[in-house]
Amino acid sequence: MSESPFISRFSPNRTDPDILEAIHVSHQDHQERAFESVQRWLQGGESEHLLFVGPRGAGKTHLVTLLNYQIAAASASQGLRIAWLGEDETSVSFLDLLERIYRALVKKYPVEFEETELEAIYGSDPKEAQHRFEKLIAGTLKDRKCLILIENLDSVFDGLDEGEQMAWRAFYQNNSGTFATVATAQRLVAEATSQQAPFHGFFEIHHIKPFGVAEAIQLLQAIAKSRGEDGLVQFLGTAKGRARIHAIRRLSGGNPRLFVILADFINPESLDELVRPLENLVDEQLTPYYQERLRWLSPLQRKIVEFLCRSRGAVEVKTIAAGLFKQHSSIAGQLKQLLELGYVNRHPIGREALYELAEPLMRLSLQVKETTVHEPLELIVDVLRVWCEQEEIEKALTSCGDSGLVRNYLARVISGMVERNLWCDLVRQDFPEPDLKCCSIEDLEVLLEVAKESEDSGDWARLYSGISGEGFNKEKIRILTSAIESPGMPAEVQAWYQMLRGLKKFSFGKDPKYIEDWCEVCTNRDAPPTLVADAEYLLATAKLLIGEWEEGAKRLAKMGEEDVALISESVVGLASQLIIVALLYHSDDRERLSVKVGALLKAIKVKRLRVSFAASLPGTMRPSLSINDVGTTTRREDWVSTWERRAAGMIEFRVPLRILRACCDYLNGGRDEKVLLRLAAEERAMVHEALASDPFNSDPE
């Protein structure tokens, strides 16, 4: 078995460039924009200075690393020199920064930039040393250009006062066209945005967002593919795999670094191979890393972060203040700074705001110190609960010993699974109610997985809202069918789904299979009475549409006052319009039309249905429901005249035709209200209502 390629979690520059490119699944647009900017500068354009802002672990170093390789390869013959400054080096003055730049050039171009030059400058007066560094760097470059790559620019600015920043800006201006900059920062710094700051308007700023589900899946699939794990690649492409990544993303905050870490462990041969390496990783790498980050903060800021580490979710400011025995204003001010530093996320809710850790992995830095030997770390427990099936955990638990680290983890995971399904809870957070109407097919498949797993009526309702939202298509019918066939779907919920599937099947043509769904609703004992009444009325309509005139009229005639009272307003209006469409589909001449309309009105003996039928005529008496058929004055007049000829002398059409003629003259005559005065007041109201809600009133001319 070939060795898996090495992928560094914290230092992408140590990873093979080809592997970095293979797993570069996001931010390609940023890389392309930066590359093009540098190329314009090299070809004689003005100096470009770019700043990429994003939280720690968002992929900024990955971006800079690839950009370094790409620019170096493309500009080898153009004399470009690249100074890539160390990520964790500190600058407390512009002199320090100049030394860092020169050292970076010495490391990469030792023949041109000699290290011995540094010794001649050491010991000089700081102002003199700064001047000599400026002259040394510019003089050694001569006519060549230099690209400076700076990570954590926000930390650099923290070390430079305004005078030092002005000196840096002046250095660029005095060497116009020689230097360009690509920088990264965790937060949008005031030094680059404030109108009073020396670097105001200097940088072209781009924001790097945390990974979405799609990017996370692409990253994990790319890593799995590079390791030959074809089974994992396929699983991540399934609805169940996407649902798991939704949950993992919630745990990680969309941090790409966590996905790179998890990529080492999410396809183990045994749970023992997952628990122990994760524990070792936390102990040897993550904990020192995050503890070092905590040391950068003030004592009160560390206390706030530690408080959030102990909290499971987002917390109000007043709760933090109470827990730390501090004033609300004091904590609010510190949280603002932590937000700017990228340590916390803010969730506004009305006038309040809740805060939580921006990087859930930071919680481990505190948990490791607070937990005893063999006590499971909660974040790892959550990862196991999200990624593993309950049956898999139960099977592993029976085969491991009576004690030990792995058993403790598995026991904690099982107890949590019994209490609630964590991955379902996390996925639900990705689908707030307002967003359901524009769910993609992939999102709906994930929601279906959640509903099937939880068998919760709320999850079935959430899926229903997503399916019935915008952009219905045949793929949604497929998901509807899969949901209806799920063993855990309650009978009452199934009735709602069958009603919707019937409506949507009908919208794709006159396929009589939609009748089957409405028949199922009519015979479903658990279906709500209102839904049964809707199905009965639509079923009668459907019979008319497929040419079974007598059966349709018979069903309408059987509906009594009580049945009609239960029909929803939307179905009354829709079905009445479809009845008229049925007349058009199955009417070849005036005599047959007269017979059918007469039979229909006789069947519709209930006043509510008769009124609805008559009110629907003005908006539906046209060749189709497409506005293009009646959109112009000429076509509108031709269509109304056709109906007047075909229904002349038919008493059932006397009122509808009068209303239809008034609508036509009103629209064709520039909406002159005098035209409508020949109608009775209730008829005028009907016209205005119809024109306000029906596409018939649109006039593309």
**H, E, C per residue of 516-571:** HHHHHHHCCCCCCHHHHHHHHHHHHHHHHHCCCHHHHHHHHHHCCHHHHHHCCHHH
pLDDT tens column, 621-677: 543 333 334 446 776 777 677 767 766 766 666 777 787 788 788 878 878 888 888
The CATH number of the domain holding residue 350 is: 1.10.10.10
Distance CA 105, CA 85 (A): 9
Tell me whether residue 671 is in a domain.
no
200 and 340 share one domain:
no
Tell me whether residue 514 is in a domain.
no
Could you give the number of structural domains in the chain?
2
Mean pLDDT value of segment 115-126: 86
60 and 90 share one domain:
yes
- pLDDT at 495 (0 to 100): 92
Tell me whether residue 691 is in a domain.
no
Domain containing residue 91: 27-207
Strand, coil or helix: 387: helix
Look at residues 360, 358, 362, 365 and name the one whose alpha carbon lies nearest to residue 343: 358
The CATH number of the domain holding residue 156 is: 3.40.50.300
Look at residues 360, 384, 341, 152 and name the one whose alpha carbon lies nearest to residue 258: 360
Per-residue pLDDT band for 17 (boundaries 50, 70, 90) equals low
Tell me whether residue 253 is in a domain.
yes
345 and 198 share one domain:
no
- pLDDT at 693 (0 to 100): 47
133 and 113 share one domain:
yes
Look at residues 281, 300, 302 and name the one whose alpha carbon lies nearest to residue 292: 302
233 and 118 share one domain:
no
Mean predicted lDDT score pLDDT of the chain: 79
Single residue among 384, 412, 428 that ends a domain in this structure: 384
Mean pLDDT value of segment 221-234: 83
Distance CA 477, CA 505 (A): 7
283 and 144 share one domain:
no
Single residue among 161, 179, 207 that ends a domain in this structure: 207
281 and 331 share one domain:
yes
pLDDT tens column, 28-42: 778 888 888 888 898
The strand pair at 352-357 and 344-349 is best described as: antiparallel
CB atoms within 10 A of CB 158: 15
128 and 194 share one domain:
yes
Distance CA 122, CA 132 (A): 10
pLDDT tens column, 599-624: 777 787 777 887 777 667 655 554 33
Per-residue pLDDT band for 385 (boundaries 50, 70, 90) equals confident
Tell me whether residue 13 is in a domain.
no
Tell me whether residue 232 is in a domain.
yes
- pLDDT at 273 (0 to 100): 63
pLDDT tens column, 160-199: 888 999 999 999 999 988 999 999 887 777 888 888 888 8
Contact 135, 175 (CB under 8 A): no
The answer to whether the predicted template modeling score (pTM) of the entire model surpasses 0.75 is no
- pLDDT at 270 (0 to 100): 56
Tell me whether residue 658 is in a domain.
no
Asked whether the predicted pLDDT for residue 4 surpasses 70, the reply is no
Tell me whether residue 365 is in a domain.
yes
pLDDT tens column, 391-419: 877 887 787 766 677 778 788 888 777 66
38 and 160 share one domain:
yes
Amino acid (one-letter) located at 35: F
